[in-house]
Structure formats: C-alpha cells, structure tokens
Amino acid sequence: MTDEAPRGRAGGRAPRSEEAVGGIYAFAAYFLWGFMPLYFLLLAPIGPWEIVVWRILFSLVFCAILLTVTRTWAKLVAILRNRRLVFWTIVAGLLIYVNWQVFLLGILTGHVIEGSLGYFINPIVTVLLGVLVLGEKLRTAQWVAIAFAALAVIVIIVAYGSFPWIALTLAASFGTYGLVKKQIGPSVDAISGLTLESLWLTPIALVQLVVVASTTGLVFGTQGPGHTTLVALAGVVTAVPLLLFAAGARRAPLTVIGLLQFVAPIMQFLTGWWILGEPMPIERWVGFGLVWVALVLLSVDSVRHARRSRVAVATDLI
C-alpha cells in the first residue's frame, strides 16, 4: 500500500473516474481474500504444510508466465542488481511465508474466526509499528484505538481462556510485511515482488515438500483431476488479489483503501461463524466488539485527518 495520494498525469489528484476504478480494484482484491478460507477448505484432505508448498511453487510459475506475457523480465533483472531491494524482498518473502503458513493452520484446524481477528487487528498493528519503527506520532484517537485493541486481547485471553496466537501472528506478520513493502516503495512492482518472494521461498518449499512426503505422504495428484486442478490454481488464487490490490492502491485514495480493508476479515468472520459454525460465546463477542470499536475510532479519525489535510492543501493553493 502506498502512502501517496493517487496522481494524474500532470501531477495532481487522479480524476474521480480513475479513483472510482481504483476503489473497484481494491474492493475486488479484498473480496477475493475474503473467500480464501472457503477455497482452501475445498482442498481437503490436503494438509496446511503441503498447501503452502504448492502455493509457493505455483505462485512462482504463474508469476513467471505473467512476466513473460507482459515482457517485464527486465524489471526483475534490474531489481536483482540492487542489493538493498534483494535484501528487502527476502525479508518480505519470509514474512509472507509465516503469514501463509499460520493462516492455513488456522483455517484447516477450525480457527477461521481467530484468523479473521488477526486481520481486524492488522490496521492497529500497522499504526503501532509506525510508532515503534518509524518514530511516527499518534493522534489521541489512535492511542485510544490501540488501548481498545489491547483490552480486547486481554478479554479473549482471560475471559475466553484462549491465547489468540494465530490472530496475533497473522497481524504481526502481515503488518510487518506491509512495513517492508513501504521500505521498498514503488521500486519493486507487484509481479516482480511476488516472483522474488516466491523464488526465495522455493528452497524452504522443497525441504517442506520432502518432509511432508516422508511423513504423512503427498496428497497432490492422488484425489482426481478436479482436486489436482484446484490445488494447481493456488498460484492464481494468490497472485490475482495482490495484482488487483496493487492496481487499486495506485488509483484510489488511501482513506478508501483503509476502509475497504475490513471487507476481507468481515467475510472470513462470517465464514467461520455462519457457514462453519465455529463457537462465539459471549466472552468472544465482547473481545471482538472491543476490536470493532477500535476500528471505528481509527476509521473515523483517518477520514477526518484526510479531510483536514485536503482543506489545508486547498487553502495553501489559494
């Protein structure tokens, strides 16, 4: 996600129509991410450790095809010549590996709701990382939102009696992944970035493949052509939302992107609660309610701050 407002060709704000298209792209990305639990559940009886292997390998294959079709191999080569960018893509790859693996462990062990909690908390973790790593100063509403989120975690641990390690790991890994992407900036395009992240993770995937094959055995290719095709589509399922998001983030205002990011966790929460019937006792509702209050505070503050910034810029131009 970029912190820069969308720009037109002359350096001003992008036209309203382009911003609207960007919002549609971003919504499509989050909508597809919201359906991911259902897609991975369709891959049963394949386990989470094997799925991650195929997700990495088929993402690499799909990205290589995209680079060939779009004739952008030169961009990838240019990135490989920059040691700083190579380092950050390695870090990004490791972070997204942790995120993918924990996400799949959550989905396939009946913790879809907890996984959604991680992505609800993610915006708050991102704000907190801005303070701890980038030295940013928080507004009062942002501090209140962080306090509500911390209280929610305490409620879930004490009242519900379960440490939400899946949620916290997802929030921390994806929040830090976003921070790394911020360090890389526009120097690495979406296709090249995912290609390199998948490439660096290939050795891990191959080792994991050998371990799975020698212990539980491989499921891929043993459940019929339909199941095999679904698993092979893991690369497409991984790459398409990322590319849509990249296209949306370049066009839509940051406030729109910030509000749309709640689409995916809401869909995942409904999947776990309504479709899969995961338990939601009162203690858990209280914990989630506190997180949702925090997100409302954060969203309202973000919209107000964006409006004030636009007014200030307009005043300076007069």
pLDDT over 50 (residue 55): yes
pLDDT of residue 317: 55
* Closest CA relative to residue 106, chosen from 158, 160, 36, 154: 36
Residue 26 predicted with pLDDT over 60: yes
Q: How far is Cα 181 from Cα 137, in angstroms, rounded to an integer?
A: 21
Residue 182 burial (10 A CB sphere; 0-12, 13-18, 19+): middle
Q: Is the pLDDT of residue 189 over 60?
A: yes
Between 129 and 309, the higher pLDDT residue? 129
Here the tokens at position 45 are: 């009886």
- Which of 66-70, 186-190, 194-198, 248-252 shows the lowest per-residue confidence on average (mean pLDDT)? 248-252
Whether pLDDT at 274 is above 60: yes
Which comes out higher in pLDDT, residue 248 or 38?
A: 38
Question: Which pLDDT value is given to residue 13?
Answer: 52
Show the tokens assigned to 130: 């801005």
3-class secondary structure per residue, the chain:
CCCCCCECCCCCECCHHHHHHHHHHHHHHHHHHHHHHHHHHCCCCCCHHHHHHHHHHHHHHHHHHHHHHHCCHHHHHHHHCCHHHHHHHHHHHHHHHHHHHHHHHHHHCCCHHHHHHHHHHHHHHHHHHHHHCCCCCCCHHHHHHHHHHHHHHHHHHHCCCCCCHHHHHHHHHHHHHHHHHHHHHHHCCHHHHHHHHHHHHHHHHHHHHHHHHHHCCCCCCCCCHHHHHHHHCHHHHHHHHHHHHHHHHHHCCHHHHHHHCCHHHHHHHHHHHHHCCCCCCHHHHHHHHHHHHHHHHHHHHHHHHHHHHHHHHHHHHC
DSSP state of 82: -
pLDDT category, 242, cuts 50, 70, 90?
confident
Percent of the chain with pLDDT over 70: 91
Confidence of residue 7 (pLDDT cuts 50, 70, 90): very low
Top-confidence residue, 310 or 81: 81
- Give residue 18's pLDDT: 79
Which residue's structure tokens are 């949306």? 248
Classify 227 as helix, strand or coil: helix
Question: What's the confidence (pLDDT) of residue 313?
Answer: 61
Average pLDDT of the residues of the chain: 88
Residue 75 has pLDDT above 80, yes or no: yes
Which residues, 6+ apart, have CB-to-CB distance to 286 below 8 Å? 155, 159
pLDDT at 177 over 80: yes
- How high is the pLDDT of residue 298? 87
Q: Which residue has the tokens 């995942």?
A: 268
- pLDDT score of 314: 59
Q: What is the pTM of this model?
A: 0.86
CA–CA distance, 246 with 310 (Å, rounded to integer): 24
Q: What is the mean pLDDT of residues 96-109?
A: 95
What average pLDDT does this structure show over 91-95? 95
Does the structure show a pLDDT above 70 at 124? yes
116 pLDDT more than 80: yes
15, pLDDT greater than 90: no
Q: 177 or 134: whose pLDDT is higher?
A: 177
What was the pLDDT predicted at 1? Answer: 37
* φ/ψ bin of 13: left (φ > 0), alpha (ψ from -120 to 50), beta (otherwise): beta
Report residue 67's pLDDT band, with 50, 70 and 90 as the boundaries: very high
Say what percent of the chain tops pLDDT 90.
63
What pLDDT is recorded for position 131? 84
Mean pLDDT of 267-285: 93
